[in-house]
Structure 1
Amino acid sequence: MDRHVFEFLAGRVCLDFINTVSWRESETAAVERLTSYSEILAWAAAGGVLDRQAARRLRARALRHPKEAEAAHTDAVRFRDALYRTICAELEGAASDPADLAKMNARISEAAAFRRLVPSEAGFVWRCDESNLRAPLWTIALSAADLLPSPGFARVRRCGLEDCGWLFLDTSKNKTRRWCRMEICGNRHKAQRFYEKKKLRDRGTPPSQTTRPH
């Protein structure tokens, strides 16, 4: 079977990581894309979170230390899902789950402890220890730590298609972006609306009596 092609369209590393569940809000079609530590490395290399040499080193280390790799995978997925629930609660004006915040803060604190300033061609940059199996999670955690308290968080959106659940940063000029992927979710929404209206016409029911705003 061909490897899944990850998409990086959210505008922030932590949001792209959340989007590693396809059709997250569907009761029947949700698909977990990070089924192993190896898949986390594949995602990190594809998105530039790790360079490919670092990903190869970590993959070799994971083979030597499978229990350590399994623990890193479990923590990364738990962090991802806690972050998703926390962001969605904020978008909906609801209270965050203290247990989710505790998971997030634990990983953010851990990441900060392993972050170091290193020189680069563009000047100094922050780097985490890329020899540690938890390095991808630390980069994601620091991305979340930067985004959530920043003014930019006001531009975080959830895809307008109910089953999708993907998050993205709306950088459109008028802040009117509704879909994570117009060619998929936008078109699917249009098709659903067309089908619903057709059913109502077939039954002789005026659309205004039964349709609800999306």
Structure 2
Amino acid sequence: MSFTWTAHRFSGGALALDVANSVVLRFDPQRRIDRFEDPEAIDGFAAAANLYGAERDRFGTLIATRPERRDAFIGLREATDRHFRALVQTEDRPDLLADLLDAIATILRQTANDGKGTPLDVATARSALGLVAGPESGRLKICPNCAWLFLDRSRNRSRTWCDMAVCGNRTKARRHYRRSREEPKP
């Protein structure tokens, strides 16, 4: 199945969150889609992150994660999702932070830069570490439409959806449809 990475897929506001959001419908076992099941999709993600990612200037040119490191990369993705999702839901889970830090350390210990760019797994680990240590963790939210993680960088912290053009419009269209069905006909 062919898949194209679009700007919408990079609406998390941080590379680590965009990677975590690569699992669509994460909590629906029947409809869950892991976009990284295909190794070529991981490579395509790295290329697309260079175009659309919020942190594209921070890490330089992203390159694909080496095949032997993909399991550690997927482990980092899952630890990132678990930790930040619990943080948004105000669950105090030091064990999830420890798991995330361990996954970050695993990736960073294996780092060998060949000068061609920053591997996706290394950039993702650095992005996750920046979220853990930085001030923006208080701006994390979960989209009520798709359940993706995102950073609310709006001035008054009022952003509701990961992407207004996609999730916001879908939510508003559903609301309009329900209201129009409930209104009595003249």
TM-score, structure 1 normalization = 0.67
Which position in structure 2 is the counterpart of 1:149? 133
CA contact (8 A) 1:111 1:139 kept: no
Q: Give a deviation string over 1:151-171, Cα, whole Å, max 9, x none.
A: 11111111121xx11111111
Supply the RMSD in Å over aligned alpha carbons.
3.0
Q: CA deviation at 1:14?
A: 0.5
Give yes or no for contact 1:10–1:167 (8 Å, CA) kept in 2. yes
| Alpha-carbon shift at residue 130 of structure 1 (Å) | 4.8
Map 1:143-182 onto structure 2 (within 5 A): 143-161=127-145, 164-182=146-164
Change in 2 beyond 3 A, CA 1:190/1:25: farther
Residue among 25, 40, 43 paired with 2:42: 40
1:92 counterpart letter in structure 2? Q
SS at match of 2:10: coil
Secondary structure of 1:79 counterpart: helix
C-alpha distance in 1 between matches for 2:142 and 2:103: 24
Which deviations, in whole Å up to 9, do the C-alpha atoms of 1:97-127 show, x marking residues without a partner?
72x4444222322344456xxxxxxxxxxxx
Which residue number corresponds to residue 2 of structure 2? Answer: 2
Q: Structure 2, unaligned stretches of length 5 or more?
A: 51-58
When residues 25 and 185 of structure 1 are mapped into structure 2, their CA distance, relative to the original with a 3 A threshold, is: farther
Tell me the TM-score normalised to structure 2 length: 0.76
Write the distance in 2 (CA, Å) between the matches of 1:37 and 1:108: 20
Q: Give runs of aligned pairs for residues 1-214 of structure 1, distance below 5 A.
A: 1-6=1-6, 7-48=9-50, 51=61, 54-55=63-64, 69=67, 72-96=69-93, 98=95, 100-113=96-109, 129-130=113-114, 135-161=119-145, 164-198=146-180
Give the distance between the partners of 2:41 and 2:157, measured in 1 at CA: 33
Alignment deviations for residues 63-102 of structure 1 (CA, whole Å, 9 cap, x no partner): xxxxxx2x5222222221221111111111113272x444
Aligned-pair identity in percent equals: 28
3-state DSSP class of the match of 1:168? strand
Cα drift, residue 183 of structure 1: 2.0
- Supply the AA of the counterpart residue of 2:104: I
Structure 2 residue identity aligned to 1:175: R
Give SS of 1:157's match: strand
**For this pair of structures, how many residues does the alignment match?**
173
Rg comparison, structure with higher value = 1
Deviates most, 35-44 or 138-147:
35-44
With 30-39 and 141-150 compared, the bigger mean Cα shift is at 30-39
Deviations 1:118-160 (A, max 9, x none): xxxxxxxxxx6258xx942222111111112211111111112
Q: CA 1:73/1:113 → structure 2, altered by over 3 Å: closer, same or farther?
A: closer
Kindly tell me: are residues 168 and 106 of structure 1, through their superposed partners in 2, closer, same or farther at Cα, counting changes over 3 Å? same
Q: Give the 3 Å change call, closer, same or farther, for CA 187–25 of structure 1 in structure 2.
A: farther
> How far apart, CA to CA, are the structure 2 residues paired with 1:35 and 1:143?
22
